[in-house]
Structure 1
Amino acid sequence: MSDNISKTKIKTIGSHIKNSSLSQDDLSVFSEWRSSHAILTRELAKTLKIKRKKKNDKQFIISRRLKRQPSIFAKLTRFPNMQLNTMQDIGGVRIILKNQKEVYTLSDELNILCGSNKKAMFVLKKPINDYIQKPKEDGYRSIHHVYSYSGSSKKKEFLKGMFIELQIRTQIQHIWATTLEIFDIKNESSLKIGEGNQEHREFFKLCSLILSFIDKTTTEIEKTNFVLEEVYDKLVTLNNKYNILGLLRGLNVSINHIDKKNKNDFFILELDYSTSKLNITIPNSEEDAKYIYAGREQDIRLRNESKEVVLVSGENMKAIEKAYPNYFLDAKKFIAYISDFLKKDGVIWKAIKG
C-alpha cells in the first residue's frame, strides 16, 4: 500500500460508503488499503504457528482472511458511529484449538507477549473480549483479541496503528459458529448479526448451550438456570416446526476440480447460493490473489449476483475445509451432536448429567 493513503482519506471513504456516494477512485483506494491488512495477518499467523509447534500441538488450525466488502459496508451502515479507519476486524486471524484449557493458555501467553512488551510487533488492545465467560446473546462463544501494529520495519511504516482481530476458539465452538453461517446462507437470513426469525435464533442459542456441556465451557449462571427436560422440549418443538436439522442435513456443494498439490496458501472461495456450487481459485501469488478477489467482489456487487466470495489463507486445502466448513455447506458434526442430544441416550446427556 502506498504510504500516502492517510487515515483521514480512509475515514472520508467510510463516510462515502455510509451515504452511498462511493466513487470508483474511492473503491480502488479502499481495496488497496484493505489488502494491506494481509501483511499483518500473515505476521500474526506466523507467530501463532511457531508457538503451537513449540508445544508439539498437531491439532490446531490457523486461518486468515480479509473481511468481505459487503460485510464492511453493512457494518458501517449498521453502526452509524463506526468509522472505517478504526474498524478492528478488516484483517482477521482465527486459531482453532482442542479445548477451553488450550484457548485460555494461548490467550494468557499472548497477553503477556503483546500486552506489556514495548518491543512487540503487535500491541494488544484491552480489554480482551471473552465471549466464553460471557457468551453473546445469540450463543456465540470465543475469545477475541484486537491488535494494533507497532513493528519497527521502515518498509512497513505505513502499517503502524492498523488493527487486526484474532479469534481463539475451541473445535466445538467453531462447529457451532460455522453452522450458524451455513443456515444463514441457505435460509437467506441474518442470524449472525442478530437479525432474522426469533425462533431460529432461539434454536441456535439452545444448541450453543447444549454443545457447551461437551466442551466444558458452560458458565455457572447457565448451569444454575439449566433445566434439561425444558431445553429438550424447546429444541424438539423448534426443530419439528422448522425442520432445521433436516435443512442442514440436505445440503451439499459441487466443487470445481482443483490441484490440491498446489503449494500457494491463498485461496479464493466463491459460493453460488442459487446453485450450491463452490468455485475455488488458487492464485499464483499474493498480489494476483488480491487483484482477482477485488475484481470478483466488484463484479458480484454490480451484477447483484447471489454469490459470496472470500479470500482466505491456510496451509493447504484440507486446512481450508476445516477452517471454513460454511463455504462447503458442511454441518455434519453439528447435526451429529444435536441429533445425539435429541435421542436422549447419547454422549451429551451423559455430559450434562455428569
Structure 2
Amino acid sequence: MPSGDTVAADYTSKNVIMLVFWVLLALVSSFLCSVAEAVLLSITPSYIEGLKEKKPKLAEKLKRLKVDDLDNSLAAILTVNTIAHTVGAIFSGTEATNVFGSELVGYFTCVMVLLILICSEIIPKTIGAVYWRSLTSISALFILTISTMIKYTGFLWFSKLITRLIGGSHAHTFSRDEFIAMAGVGERSGEIDEGESRILKNLFRFETMTAADIMTPRIVISALKAEISIATAIETADKHFSRIPIYGNDLDDINGFVLRTDLLLHKAECHGESNLESIVRKIPTVRRSQTLTPLLEQLLKDREHIAIVVGEYGETVGLLTLEDLIETLLGMEIVDEFDKVEDMQLYARQLWEKRADKLGIDVKASKEELEETDASDDEN
C-alpha cells in the first residue's frame, strides 16, 4: 500500500499541474482576446475598402465585424476575456492554496496580477496595434468563432440593449482636417510623395476657399479702354498677358476681353485702326464669395479661361483665370511655352508698383486702403 507521504506527493503534483493549466488558460485566452481587440479597433474603413478588390471575402468579414456588428464583436471579445480572467483567478487561486498554503496565496495573487497585466494586456495589445495588418485574417476568424460560441448565451443581446439605451454609435467619418492630417502622415511615412501630399491637402482646402482668396486684385488689373484702336492696343498692352480685359468708362464697366492673338491677327489683316469693341469677347462675372469648386466646374463647362470678380454691389474687385484655379489646386505655377513669367499675379503687382512709383503714388498707403476695403466687404 502507498504510504501517506506518497499520496501527499501525488496530490501535490496534480495540484501543481492544474495550477499551471488554469494560469496558462487564463493568460492565453486573455492574450488572444487582447490581440483581437487591438486589431479590430485598428482596422480602418479605408483599409476595408482597399481589400474589396484584392481579398473580397476578407473585406466582407472585416466589414461585418468592424462596421456592421462592432458592438457584437467587442461584446464577444470582452465576454470571453472576462470569463477567462474570472475562471482562471478562481481555480488557480484554489490550486495555489493547495500547493503553497494559505500563507503564500497573497504573493501568488500579486504575481498573477502582474502576469495578466503584462502578458494579457500590455504585450498583446501592443502587438495587435503595431502588426494589425498582418493579423487581420486570423483575428477575424478568431472573433467569428467566439461570436458563434456565445451567440445564444444572451450576452450579445444584453450588449445591444445597453448600446441602444446609451445611444452610442461606433460609426466614424473623417473630417477635412483629418484627411489633411492623414496626407501629412502619409508623406512623412513615405507612403505618398511630397507632390501627392500637397495636391491632397490643397484638394480638401479647395472647397473652403473663395474667389477673393486667389484673385488678382482690381488695383493691379492690366486692362484697356474699349475705344482705343487695335494698333494702339498692341503697342500699349503688356506682352505677358494673353487675355486683356476691356472697359468703358472705368474698371467697374468691364464688358469683355480681347485675346492678344486676335489683336495680332486683325492687325495683320489691315484692321489695325478698328477699335477694340469690334473684337471684344464676353467675359463672365463671379461673386467674390463664390467657392472654388463650383467656380472651377462652371468655367470648365462654359469653356471660359477668365472671369471678373465682383463685390456686393456689382463693382469690380478683381480678376481670376482658370490657371489660378488649377495652380491653387496643384500648388504650383503653370507655365506654358509662351510664358516668360511664372507668377503672373506677382508680376502684375510689381508692374503696378512701378507705375505707381512713377506717378508719385504711395504704394504702401494704397495697399492698406485696398486691404481695408476687402475687410469691410467681408464684414458686409
Classify the TM-score, shorter chain: under 0.3
Going by fraction, where is helix more abundant, 1 or 2?
Answer: 2
**Given the two structures, how large is their TM-score scaled by the length of structure 2?**
0.18
**Given the two structures, how large is their TM-score scaled by the length of structure 1?**
0.20
Q: Report which of the two structures shows the higher radius of gyration computed on alpha carbons.
A: 2
Choose between structure 1 and 2 for higher RCO, CA contacts under 8 A separated by at least 6 residues: 1
